A and B are shown apart, each in its own frame.
Chain A
Amino acid sequence: MNRRDSLKALGLGTLSVAAFLESCKPNGEKLAEDTTLKPSGDEVGRLPNEIERDKKLMAAKFFDDHEMATITVLADIIIPKDERSGSASDAGVPAFIQFIVNDMPEHQTPMRGGLRWLDLQCLNRYGKSFVDVSSQQQIEMVTEIAYPKKAKPGMQPGVSFFNLMRNLTATGFYTSKIGIQDIGYMGNTVAKWTGVPADVLKQYGMENV
């Protein structure tokens, strides 16, 4: 099989290769994307029990509206919009977290309990729940729990929660179209690997390894 036949086998005529390569690239135009979760690609390669399971999981709602609002604010504090890319919520991170706690129930209690812990902290400090306090107060609160080594005694439950929230947010963001473009991943496409580029070899003094 030659290269052209290979591309054909991938469902690509020779004429459509350029279009295919283009479609493999993350969309650079818009910062927001469709945040509706889709089934695992199309259903090709999926077993019937997997299709069934994913439909159920996608329909399930673990977090209520208040929890989702809190998750959205936190996610955007963790990964805000900047000059290179959109925010966590632009990339659909809250919906990803809603799904993943249904898929991985071990995250449910740490997330639910952590959100409640956060609200209680805010009630005691500011008389309101986290989403209702000012942005400045939100940042003040988050700062208390975002630096594991600096956190004061008593803040440990918040630190654990925020570590999980940070990790879920980063994973959700950088596996989205926006995030993949942001991080600069350039693979998942038809290519020819010929080794580390010469300028990079030189940069690290690896020309002769």
Chain B
Amino acid sequence: MNDVQIKKSATPYDAIVVGSGAGGGMAGYVLANAGLKVLMLEAGPFFDPKKDSMQLRWPYESPRRGASTNTRNFGDFDGAFGGWELDGEPYTTKDKTEFYWFRSRMLGGRTNHWGRISLRMGPDDFKGHHIDGLTDDWPISYDDVKPFYDKVDRMIGIYGTVENLPNEPDGIYLPPPKPRLNELFIMKGAAKAGVKVIPGRGSVLTEALPNNKERGACFFCGQCSRSCKVYGDFSSSSALVIPAIKTGNLKVIPNAMVREVLTDKNGQATGVSYISKDDMQEYQVSAKIVVLGASAGETARLLLNSKSAAHPGGLANSSGVVGKYIHDSTGSSAGGWLPQLMDRKRYNEDGVGSIHIYGPWMNGNKKLPFPRGYHIEFGGGMGMPEYGFGWGIEDMNGSVPGRDGKPKDAGGFGASLKDDYRRFYGVGFGMAGRGTAIARADNYCEIDPTVVDKFGIPVLRFHYKWSDYEIQQAKHMQDTFQSIMHEMGAVYGPPEGKETNYGLEAPGRIIHEVGTVRMGDDPKTSALNKYCQAHDCNNLFVVDASPFVQQGDKNATWTILALSMRTAEYILSQRKKLNV
């Protein structure tokens, strides 16, 4: 390639949205429905769950029986084009710290395969400083966001129950799915162990969504992670972007990897440049407003790579905070099996592909060796066999008597072993804690000065360490899991110990990374104002999880949706006032 040319589009758009996940999708939807001409750039291919989902495939339709691969880290039928590693698009880490970055390159981003667990952050999650003196407060409160959570609930659909619990705000709910049998055992055990368990909260249409003819109700296959052909759950592709395209106001360019946000000499955003993965040509498109929803990592990367005379430290970064305060949820898990459930009756127990039951954090800020808290996600039942089925029977079948009541030797083969697989089917269960990790300036991502991706774009370098707070929280999770499993009468192993940080997953592994372009009232300590508008550039907005000041234990997506809607409505009001 000896003559690189840049193709400039003559069409100026009202707004360019970078990214098509929860944040980008919602912004594009609101703006397009308000009549703005919107261009959406997505770094991966177009994806429509109706046509492209692998829902209802049988395990034998995969030669590896649904096992994961390096292109499908969550199984061969999973609805994510992407993974922990992308070919030709590396990221690096610094000072021997660890960070894992899951990227989906596709329309809808990671919302095509996510767990649909949809939680509101509570008042103390937005303003937690008064409780323990840690972390900065958000510039907005729960009351500022509540109307948008309400609108998101009605527009997208969510199941759950009104519980009136502290710091666990209720929403506007469709009926939740009933618990599976294993989950009833969990509920009973948890009650004895003093752990609160309530119906799950998930964005799955357990009933038809009122006033929406485009999306079908859930038909209970339990495969939300593959994305849903009838649009029975929330994916940004199916619930936001594709409907927005139908307004005639939103154009999507897939396979467009944005390189830089372009600015004029006054520092105002004028558009973006991107490389098309289809023809490997360079393009520039212009707009009055630029909205970034590329993900907490990619948005920070894009801003830091958008240097100019007006923005020498990167766009929206005069404070120097861009990239800092990245934080992922903590995670630690346990599982076991219920001998009581051997030889159980068969019936279809697929349910929904999100959680049926949920353990909210109810310990407030008691005297514990860590701040804030965590919630617990539970599951178990007669799932579809896939790669890994039957694995480890030698650790199970020696611990209970055979059909004749006599002790059995572990392992074995033949007719008696075959009978054991049948006997043990559907006895398993699992539980996973997801907790608040404290946002800290010394956990950050930055541009690696020496490494570029295959498009020549400098890549992100992460520096992330857990503190003792997160480790102690994982220990508390393990202790709680042990007491629940004990009360359930389950068979289970010992807790994860100090040598594994109590099973604490490495940073990034929970895929809740947030906080890289945080909002705040003070331009010296934050990049965005309380409407997610850049302090340094008033026609630049961020709508993904980057603006989070401090994530609660609640999964980020519902808050991303609410904040993106709030920002998009702010953009509309500012346009009326001719401010942007």
Query: A residues engaging B (CB < 8 A)?
Result: 1-3, 5-6, 9-10, 24, 37-41, 44-45, 47, 49-50, 53-54, 57-58, 77-80, 82, 96, 99-100, 103-104, 142, 146-150, 162-163, 166-167, 170-177, 179-180, 182-197, 199-201, 203-204, 206, 209
Contacts and interface: CB of A to CB of B under 8 A. Distances in A.
B418 A183 contact: no
Given A196-B178, A206-B181, A39 B348 contact: no
Interface of B: 50-54, 56-67, 69, 71-72, 76, 81, 87, 177-181, 184-185, 187-188, 208, 212-217, 219-223, 229-232, 340, 344-352, 382-394, 398, 409-415, 417-418, 421-422, 425
A167 to B, nearest CB: 5
Given A163-B411, A180-B59, A186 B54 contact: no
A209 to B, nearest CB: 5
B216 A5 contact: yes
A166 B345 CA distance: 25
Contacts of B220: 191-193
A2 B208 contact: yes
27 contacts: A1-B208, A1-B212, A1-B230, A3-B216, A6-B230, A9-B229, A41-B57, A44-B52, A50-B71, A78-B413, A79-B417, A100-B387, A103-B64, A103-B67, A146-B411, A146-B413, A148-B411, A175-B385, A180-B59, A187-B382, A189-B221, A191-B221, A193-B349, A196-B349, A204-B181, A204-B340, A209-B187
A167 B392 contact: yes
Contacts of A162: 411
- 8 tightest A-B contacts by CB? A170-B390, A195-B178, A6-B216, A187-B350, A41-B61, A184-B346, A175-B59, A1-B216
Contacts of B387: 100, 171, 175
B62 A167 contact: no
Given A78-B413, A193-B352, A188 B184 contact: no
Contacts of A182: 422
Given A150-B409, A175-B60, A49 B345 contact: no
B508 to A, nearest CB: 23
B215 A57 contact: no
Contacts of B386: 175
A174 B222 CA distance: 19
A180 B526 CA distance: 55
A1 B219 CA distance: 12
Contacts of A41: 54, 57, 61-62
A206 B348 CA distance: 18
B394 A37 contact: no
A180 B385 contact: yes
A187 B57 CA distance: 11
Given A1-B208, A5-B216, A191-B220, A185 B230 contact: no
Contact of B391 (A49, A99, A167): A167
A82 B63 CA distance: 25
B388 A171 contact: yes
A37 B63 CA distance: 6
B413 A188 contact: no
Given A100-B64, A191-B220, 10 more contacts: A1-B208, A38-B63, A41-B57, A57-B63, A174-B390, A177-B60, A180-B385, A185-B346, A188-B221, A201-B184
A103 B69 contact: yes
A191 B54 contact: no
Contacts of B349: 186-187, 193, 196
B96 to A, nearest CB: 25
Contacts of A188: 56, 58, 221, 223, 350, 384
Contact of B51 (A38, A44, A203): A44
Nearest to B382: A185
B230 A10 contact: yes
Given A77-B413, A175-B385, A183 B340 contact: no
Contacts of A78: 413-414, 417
B184 A40 contact: no
Contacts of A186: 346-349, 382
A45 B372 CA distance: 41
A187 B69 CA distance: 24
A171 B351 CA distance: 23
Contacts of B417: 78-79, 166
Contacts of A6: 216-217, 219, 230, 232
Contacts of A179: 385
A200 B391 contact: no
A148 B139 CA distance: 60
Contacts of A146: 411-413
B175 to A, nearest CB: 11
Given A41-B54, A82-B418, A103 B222 contact: no
Given A44-B52, A163-B394, A176-B60, A149 B410 contact: yes
Contact of B62 (A40, A180, A193): A40
Nearest to A195: B178
A57 B64 CA distance: 10
Contacts of A199: 345
Contact of B345 (A175, A183, A203): A203
Nearest to B218: A193
Contacts of B415: 80, 82
Contacts of A57: 63
A82 B422 CA distance: 13
Contacts of B76: 40
Which among B385, B398, B422 has the greatest number of chain A C-beta atoms within 10 A? B385
Contact of B56 (A1, A10, A196): A10
A193 B61 contact: no
A127 to B, nearest CB: 24
Contacts of B215: 1
B63 A185 contact: no
B553 to A, nearest CB: 25
B394 A174 contact: no
A38 to B, nearest CB: 7
Contacts of A39: 63
Which among A104, A179, A187 has the greatest number of chain B C-beta atoms within 10 A? A187
